Chain A
Amino acid sequence: MLEIKNICKFYRENPLQQVQALKNVSLQLARGEIVGLFGENGAGKTTLLKAILGYLPFQGEILLDGRRIDRSNIARLSFATCEHSFFPNLSPGQHAEFYQMHFGSFRRKRFHALMDFFSLPMDKRLKAYSTGQKNQFEVILSLCQGADYILMDEPFAGNDVFNREDFYKVLLGILEPSETILLSTHLIQEVEHFIGRAVLLHQGTILGDTTVLALEEQGMSLMDYVRETYQYQGNRVSKALTMSKL
């Protein structure tokens, strides 16, 4: 289990002012869950993911099966980001060798299968890939590292809808019951049938945390839940336009 306990993160905007990006965020992720992390821009999604991976200092505690995350267990976490974390001058084949060397549990078979499925060239430098191909490769690397917890930060930005659909289906097909995904995305309606749980972040706090099953029992879609939780006023734009005309 990945336990996130009372995480606070401050950013200094200027010497006199600091902004709190995360406010006492607590969350538990059990093995095998597929969790969607939603929130508006600036809600703290990326900050939360980076804090889990140890890229940022923070206050609070993050435990993986009861232990702090350090070099002895960091390989149990993988990360796919829209910023891309691969080496642009290496080919996928060279990346596979790198991962094999550093991550003992690298899944070579899965790697080749996914590369074949998405028809990504093995010997071409990643610099020469298209944006969509780069995104695909980034996700493939995170899935093949052999990690138990796969964190994804808007990994499909720039991919066409069919590509994304394919990926969700492939993920559901290849993921093992013990593999956990924490997916940060804005594509709420698309991932509704892929995720099992939705966590809503708003201005650094968790506003909502529900399972898709619970929503189905209530006869509510994920989009409706998000609108209700954020108290989104769908008519505010038309109201504002009407007021401005008056």
Chain B
Amino acid sequence: MKRIKAWIDKLEKCYPPGYAYRWELAVTTGLILAAVCFSLRFLARLDNAVSGLYYYDSTAALQLVPNVTMEPFHRLVRGSWQFFWLPALSQGAMAVSHYCYYYRDTRSIYLMRRLPQKKPLPRSCLAAPLLCLGLTTLVMAVLWLFYLGCYFLAVPPQCLPSL
């Protein structure tokens, strides 16, 4: 827990000075978690599709349907990513919000534009959204690998579709 808190504190450098970044992080995390929850419906679709490979014979034994082919993975996994556009697109809004922060209450943009270094202003606007975009992509990639693993574990080799 302490480590997570320390890591979150380090993220402060990616935001404009004094920005309420914890709230924004919480919103982004919530959106990603919501997208993951919706995406997990793939497991239900996989279960459904795998169930369709089997039937109960006259002795009530579970048998594989002869010459049956499982639905291809890419078709099954389609639609698992539809809610990930929410955290992804929201990063664009966050970047704009970071820039607008320099015009809120005061004109701290005057200070940022006078800094001798070129990077602080764009970094404070874009670093966190790009990080969150990267995190969203990473979560999607991990989920995709997990779903692929589940697919190959659940589907009998003889039912796998040809490439």
Interface residues, chain A, with chain B CB atoms under 8 Å away: 53-55, 71-72, 74-75, 77-79, 81, 83-90, 94, 98, 102-103, 127
B111–A86 touching, CB < 8 Å? yes
Residues of B near A72 (CB, < 8 A) are: 116
Q: Is the CB of A103 within 8 A of B116?
A: yes
Option from B106, B109, B110, B120 in Cβ contact (under 8 Å) with A88:
B106
Q: Contact at B118–A84, with CB atoms within 8 Å?
A: no
Query: In the complex, what residue of chain B is closest to A71 when comparing beta carbons?
Result: B116
The reply to whether the CB of B18 lies closer than 8 angstroms to some CB of chain A is: yes
- State whether B108 touches A86 (Cβ < 8 A): yes
Expressed in whole angstroms, the minimum distance between the Cβ of B163 and any Cβ of chain A is 55
Q: Is B18 within 8 A of A88, CB to CB?
A: yes
A147's nearest neighbour on chain B, judged by CB, is B114
Count chain B residues whose beta carbon lies closer than 8 angstroms to a beta carbon of A: 20
Binding site for A on B (CB under 8 A): 16-20, 104-111, 113-118, 120
A87 CA to B116 CA, complexed, in Å: 18
**CB closest chain-B residue, reference A89:** B18
Top 7 nearest A-B pairs (CB, nearest first) are A89-B18, A85-B110, A84-B106, A87-B18, A90-B18, A83-B107, A85-B111
Residues of A within 8 A of B109 (CB): 85
Decide if B18 touches A55 in the complex (CB within 8 Å).
no
- Bound form: Cα–Cα A77–B105 in Å: 23
> Cβ of B114 and Cβ of A74 under 8 Å apart?
yes
Q: Which residue of A lies closest to B19 (CB)?
A: A89
Residues of B within 8 A of A78 (CB): 114
Closest to B112 in A: A85
- Measured CB to CB, the closest approach of chain B to A63, in angstroms, equals 17
Complex alpha-carbon distance, A77 and B115, angstroms: 10
Smallest CB separation, B106 vs chain A (Å):
4
Chain B nearest CB: distance from A91 CB in Å?
A: 9
Is there an interface contact between A94 and B110, defined as CB atoms closer than 8 Å?
no
Cα distance A78–B115 when bound, in Å?
Answer: 10
B111: which A residues are within 8 A, CB to CB?
79, 85-87
Smallest CB gap from A72: residue in B: B116
- Determine the distance from Cα of A71 to Cα of B115 in the docked complex, in whole angstroms: 7
| Pair B18/A85 contact, Cβ less than 8 Å | no
* Contact across chains for A81 and B110 when beta carbons are under 8 A apart: yes
Asked if A85 contacts B105 (CB within 8 A), the reply is: no
CB distance from A100 to the nearest CB of B (A): 13
Q: CB-nearest residue of chain A relative to B17?
A: A87
CA distance A90 to B19 in the complex (A): 9
Which residues of A lie under 8 Å from residue B114 when comparing CB positions? 53, 74-75, 77-79
With A90-B18, A94-B17, A98-B17 as contacts: A85 and B116 at CB distance below 8 Å: no
Residues of A within 8 A of B20 (CB): 89
A86 and B106 form a contact (CB under 8 A) = yes
Q: Is the CB of B17 within 8 A of A90?
A: yes
New A-B pairs, 13, CB < 8 Å, besides A87-B111, A89-B17, A89-B19: A55-B110, A71-B116, A74-B114, A75-B114, A79-B114, A81-B107, A83-B106, A85-B107, A87-B16, A87-B108, A88-B108, A102-B116, A102-B120
- Smallest CB-CB separation from A138: which chain B residue? B106
Give chain A residues whose Cβ lies under 8 Å from the Cβ of B17. 87, 89-90, 94, 98
Whether the pair B106, A55 counts as a contact (CB closer than 8 A) is no
Q: Report yes or no: A102 in contact with B115, Cβ–Cβ below 8 A.
A: yes
* Cβ–Cβ < 8 Å partners of A81 in chain B: 107, 110
Q: How far is the CA of A75 from the CA of B111 in the complex (A)?
A: 10
Q: How far is the CA of A81 from the CA of B106 in the complex (A)?
A: 10
Nearest Cβ on chain A to B50's Cβ, whole angstroms: 53
Of the A-B pairs whose beta carbons lie under 8 Å apart in the complex, a sample of 15, sorted by A's number, is A53-B110, A71-B118, A72-B116, A77-B114, A78-B114, A79-B114, A84-B106, A85-B111, A86-B108, A87-B111, A88-B18, A89-B17, A89-B18, A94-B18, A102-B117
